[in-house]
Amino acid sequence: MEEKQLAIHVEGLDKIYKLFDHNRDRLVDSLGLTRKKKYREHFALKGVNLDIYQGECVGIIGTNGSGKSTILKIITGVLNETNGTVQVNGRISALLELGAGFNMEYNGIENVYLNGTMIGFSEKEIDEKLQDILDFADIGEYVYQPVKTYSSGMFVRLAFAVAINIDPEILIVDEALSVGDVFFQAKCYHKFEEFKKQGKTILFVSHDLSAISKYCDRAVLLNQGVKLGEGSPKEMIDTYKRVLVGQYEMPETDGRGGLLQDEDIRNAAAAKAGEKAEKKEPAKEPGGLPSQAANSQGVNPQALEYGTKEAEITGYYVTDGNGIQTTTILKGEVFTLHMKVRIHEDVAAPIFALSVKNIKGVEITGTNTMVERAFLEGVKAGEELEITFTQKVRLQGGDYLLSLGVTGYKGDSFTVYHRLYDIINLTIISDRDTVGYFDMESDVKVKHAAKQVHGA
């Protein structure tokens, strides 16, 4: 079996920034006029180890400020590390920040030659690649205009076309596709697939978890400058969802740059005290629902709200099939919408409802307790009810908006007690989308028809 070759090796990587309270402290420190430390140290990266092999497509995920862009800049040589080792085997082409390496006064073609030269190509080599770059960018006659006149979409097309067509051995991309239109993104991802088949290496940072799930062989999760783990995209996305809602305890270091898992830390502490470690549960408010502070992830602060408030929705959140609170769900899995309702006046037969819309406002699906025949009784003032809607996700990958409601009838009059429109943003992650709004989960088979044999 052929041994995999390392493309990128990162070991014990630290990046420390000095934070000063006053500009004068920065000046005093830079001139070496005092021995007293005038700054606080901030670890953008702390003890990060990472190996990426040739031919892999590796995604890096994490919240804002987790160190994703910092590690890419160190790998590409834009930043210097404070401590640690970085080794790169192969020619890198990087698309880190729009405009990096471009002269805004030059036209598109001049910038192609400028960027190619910076990467290490000769003018003759760029000549051979020029037509491929222009075809990929597809910005027409604008290529002869100064780059400062380009729209953001045209700019990213040209920048990406240069990065991906100069035949790199390692391609590094940092969120650069977010301004491209859907057709251009499809073209870029198709190029990714070509690169993978050619045995080239891709390092990819994105907040688009569907792209990470679909295109990456492996994912790395960073948080607060620390690598929490690496593994299959699904495993890391599941862990990332815990981080987003504060249900992941940051691991401590073992003093050698390694990390202790939170379970190990609790067990060790309990052993010292001679007690059995208790599993840590998320904070809860009365009624058994997670605290509203933890509910803020994915909640729309400007949602449309109205109703008589005879019955009021006082809590809501989403959990995945493992019971983890999150607003990011994998297609094909089960999720549950939890809703808590307080009854302020007697209500004959309240109806609790859930509906799902896409971001264009098209109502995709929905249900309620009357349709499902799940609750058809009256309630008294002062009661509190907990309602759950559990369903399998058959929606295509993308963002959706959940709306909640409590309604009912006063005699023949339909009454809205409380409605919250577009209150929760639900993100569906998919590595295989079919046509339309939902997946019919078709079982498709193709076989060769039996050949007819004619007699002599």
- pLDDT at residue 282, rounded to an integer: 41
Average pLDDT over residues 129-152: 90
What is the predicted pLDDT for the residue at 381? 95
* Coil/strand/helix, residue 394: coil
pLDDT over 50 at 286, yes or no:
no
Nearest residue to 438 via CA among 325, 328, 324, 362: 362
**Residue 278 has what pLDDT?**
43
Q: In the prediction, which pLDDT does 332 show?
A: 92
Inform me whether the pLDDT recorded for 288 exceeds 70: no
Question: Rounded CA gap, 118 and 112, in Å?
Answer: 10
pTM of the model: 0.66
Per-residue model confidence as pLDDT tens digits over 193-234: 788 888 889 998 888 787 788 788 899 999 999 999 999 888
Q: Write the burial class of residue 332 (CB in 10 Å: 0-12 exposed, 13-18 middle, 19+ buried).
A: middle
Amino acid 456: pLDDT: 53
Confidence check: pLDDT of 370 > 90: yes
Count Cβ atoms within 10 A of the Cβ of residue 428 and give its class: 0-12 exposed, 13-18 middle, 19 or more buried: buried
What is the model's pLDDT at position 20? 81
Beta strands 170-174 and 201-205 are: parallel
CA distance 352 to 340: 10
Backbone φ, ψ for residue 42 (5° rounding): -120, 120
Q: Which residue has the higher pLDDT, 242 or 388?
A: 388
Q: Residue-wise over 98-107: b if at least 16 C-beta within 10 A, else e?
A: bebbbeeeeb
pLDDT category of residue 98 using cuts at 50, 70 and 90? low
Q: What are phi and psi of 124, to 5 degrees?
A: -65, -40
pLDDT score, position 230 = 94
- The total of other beta-carbon atoms located within 10 Å of residue 86's CB is 17
Per-residue confidence band for 182, with pLDDT thresholds at 50, 70 and 90: low
Q: Which pLDDT does position 177 carry in this prediction?
A: 59
Model confidence band, residue 320 (pLDDT cutoffs 50, 70, 90): very high
The number of helix segments (H) and strand segments (E) in the chain equals 9, 20
- % of residues, the chain, pLDDT over 90: 40
Q: What is the pLDDT of residue 211?
A: 78
> Is 285 a residue whose pLDDT tops 70?
no
Taking the C-alpha atoms of residue 17 and residue 19, their distance in angstroms, rounded to an integer, is: 6
**Over residues 129-154, mean pLDDT:** 89
List, for residues 146-178, the tens digit of each pLDDT value.
999 988 788 888 888 887 787 788 888 887 655
At 76 the pLDDT is 87
Tens digit of each residue's pLDDT (9 = 90 or more) over 201-211:
999 888 878 77
On whether the CB atoms of residues 143 and 109 are closer than 8 A, the answer is yes
Contact 54, 7 (CB under 8 A): yes
Query: In the predicted model, what is the mean pLDDT of residues 288-312?
Result: 69
Q: What is the mean pLDDT of residues 281-310?
A: 60
Does residue 284 have a pLDDT over 50? Answer: no
